[in-house]
Amino acid sequence: MQLADASLLKSDAYIDGQWVAAEKRFAVTNPATGAVIAEVADADAAMARHAIEVAAKAQKSWARETAKTRAMIMRDWFNLIMQNQDDLAQILTLEMGKPLAEAKGEIAYGASFIDWFAEEGRRITGDILMPHQHDKRLMVLKQPIGVYGAITPWNFPNAMITRKVAPGMAAGCAGVVKPAQQTPLSALALAELAHRAGVPAGIVNIITSSDAAAIGGELCANALVRKISFTGSTEVGRRLMQQSAETVKKVSMELGGNAPLIVFDDADLSVAVPEALASKFRNAGQTCVCANRIFVQDGIYDDFAAALTEEVKKMRLGDGMEAGVTIGPLIDAAALEKVAECVEDALAHGAEAVVGGKRADLGADLGAGLETTFFEPTILTDATPKMRVFREEIFGPVAPLFRFKSEDEVVGLANDTIFGLASYFFARDMARVWRVAEQLDYGIVSVNTGIFSNEIGPFGGVKQSGVGREGSRYGIDEYLEMKYVCLGV
Ligand code: NAP
């Protein structure tokens, strides 16, 4: 690691503006090599409780600051992040594995939420309503919800944090954040820069821990916490919703997906192929919005499969720190095992791997009993709904191609899942574009493009992909309460 500013690499928890050690520590490893990068403070429930109490105290004065003051501090934080983009990207690639260029992109994407919500915080408005009696005046105030708990996954170690902390900060809230065990270093680096930007003590607290259940349990049970914002698997999200029910918390849940990507006969292949490639293979297929099931219409199936195969053959698998690498390792050996099992199941049910289909001969020197974390970018043709890849989130670089005949048939197949996060389709007939966009039962429909994420559009799912929206002008509502004031005059 060659950081221009080595002091960005922190390994203690960040509570009340201080770096706090814990009795125990846990190792953070590089998924490409198995090398230990840092030993990080292993916080327990008592430390989380302390952080919550600190946040509750700090939040009161933060809420009294003007929105402009909060915006100016956030702007400084944004600038510091962008000035340190290269270092933050290195830390991210080392702990998570995505190629350095992609990591740099995530830093800018993550920072965009801080920039955006600094502005949005200044545009929080209430309402004055027409009264029902002459001697009454009716108003609606929007106020910060208070202390929120945030739990985030490893696949976007930077952006999943800023997407929660930025609206919380702008709204006048204080947060206790538990990053994923595999990727705490990006979160701690963000905290260091928030500190330098002048974010007051207690407004952002980072609890690093190997005991997610203990920290999550405290965040959900503690009555001082008024909101839980979670990004991760549907399974854990369900549990957190149940645990939050006891104290009736507001929740935002950004959960799993099973994105369909549909290529109709009238699609422009010169667009559909590179966009499908980007949607499927970015982050080695480890995003909640990666195309999971690719449905291709009969008339264009063979051409699409051949063109996509050509592009996949050009991808370079390897350590994300190496120049020219376009696809990195999976996060750990368990993730690789799940992907390999999904592929084996598909092959056993009649699919054909036209490229890839197996573990890569890379990372053999991982040591410490670690298997490789690299899986070859794979295309499976002749996929069918009987296969696991139809029902499950693959979370790896595997593109199963399903053949379909009619629009009705494919809309039915696309919606045949408990998930409803992102969906994609490629078509040029405008009537079809409207029809299909309206019929897809998803929070996000991406038409003729494979990349839609930004700070401006509302991100979130329906069905078991979650509740609430992040980013956009709607995202700040998750951190605000509505208060009705009835004034007798
Ligand atoms: P995960 O296992 O659900 O973990 C996510 C976070 O929850 C981690 O911080 C994890 O901590 C924590 N956690 C695990 N068990 C917990 C418990 N019992 N109580 C409290 N917290 C607990 O998910 P993942 O494997 O990291 O991430 C992949 C999943 O996230 C996929 O399903 C993906 O689709 C989803 N995701 C969704 C979005 C979205 O915006 N909708 C974005 C990105 C990812 P540890 O790391 O310590 O286990």
Q: Could you tell me if the CB of 41 is within 6 A of ligand 1?
A: no
What is the reported pLDDT for 195? 98
Report the alpha-carbon distance of residue 458 to residue 270 in Å, rounded.
28
- Whose Cα sits closest to atom 20 in ligand 1? 216
Beta strands of 350-427 (E only): which ranges? 352-355, 378-383, 398-404, 422-426
125, amino acid identity? T
In this prediction the pTM is 0.97
Distance 153 CA to ligand 1 centre (A): 4
Q: Which domains does the chain have, with CATH numbers?
A: 6-255+465-488 (3.40.605.10), 259-454 (3.40.309.10)
Choose the catalytic residue: 254, 275, 393, 407.
254
Angle, helices 184-197 vs 67-83, to 10°: value is 120
Report the alpha-carbon distance of residue 316 to residue 326 in Å, rounded.
5
What is the reported pLDDT for 366? 57
**Rg from Cα positions in the chain:** 23
Alpha helices for 282-398 (secondary structure H): 301-313, 333-348, 388-391
DSSP string of 118-174, one letter each residue: HHHGGG---EEE--SSTTEEEEEEEEE--EEEEE--SSSTTHHHHHHHHHHHHHT-E
Q: Could you tell me if the CB of 228 is within 6 A of ligand 1?
A: no
Q: Could you tell me if the CB of 343 is within 6 A of ligand 1?
A: no
Nearest to 385 by CA among 404, 408, 357: 404
What is the reported pLDDT for 362? 83
Distance 26 CA to ligand 1 centre (A): 18
Is 478 designated active site? no
Distance 155 CA to ligand 1 centre (A): 9
The alpha carbon of 418 is separated from its chain's Cα centroid by a whole number of angstroms, namely 19
Check: CB of residue 382 under 8 Å from CB of residue 286.
no
Report the alpha-carbon distance of residue 378 to residue 312 in Å, rounded.
8
SS (H, E, C) 23-50: CCEEEEECCCCCCEEEEEECCCHHHHHH
Q: Could you tell me if the CB of 221 is within 6 A of ligand 1?
A: no
Model confidence over 109-118: pLDDT tens digits? 999 999 999 9
Max CA pair span of the chain: 80
Choose the catalytic residue: 95, 218, 220, 288.
288
Query: In a structure prediction context, what are the per-residue pLDDT tens digits for the chain, which is 489 residues long?
Result: 799 999 999 999 999 999 999 999 999 999 999 999 999 999 999 999 999 999 999 999 999 999 999 999 999 999 999 999 999 999 999 999 999 999 999 999 999 999 999 999 999 999 999 999 999 999 999 999 999 999 999 999 999 999 999 999 999 999 999 999 999 999 999 999 999 999 999 999 999 999 999 999 999 999 999 999 999 999 999 999 999 999 999 999 999 999 999 999 999 999 999 999 999 999 999 999 999 999 999 999 999 999 999 999 999 999 999 999 999 999 999 999 999 999 999 999 999 999 999 999 886 555 555 678 999 999 999 999 999 999 999 999 999 999 999 999 999 999 999 999 999 999 999 999 999 999 999 999 999 999 999 999 999 999 999 999 999 999 999 999 999 999 999
Q: Could you tell me if the CB of 152 is within 6 A of ligand 1?
A: yes
Q: Which of 183, 236, 238, 421 to mutate to test the pocket of ligand 1 (most atoms within 8 A of CB)?
A: 236
How wide is the angle at C-alpha 28 spanned by C-alphas 27 and 32, nearest 5°? 130
Report the alpha-carbon distance of residue 441 to residue 430 in Å, rounded.
19
Dihedral of alpha carbons 168, 172, 176, 179, sign: positive
Distance 308 CA to ligand 1 centre (A): 30
Is 254 designated active site? yes
Model confidence over 290-333: pLDDT tens digits? 999 999 999 999 999 999 999 999 999 999 999 999 999 999 99
Bridge-based pairing of strands 378-383 and 204-206 is unpaired
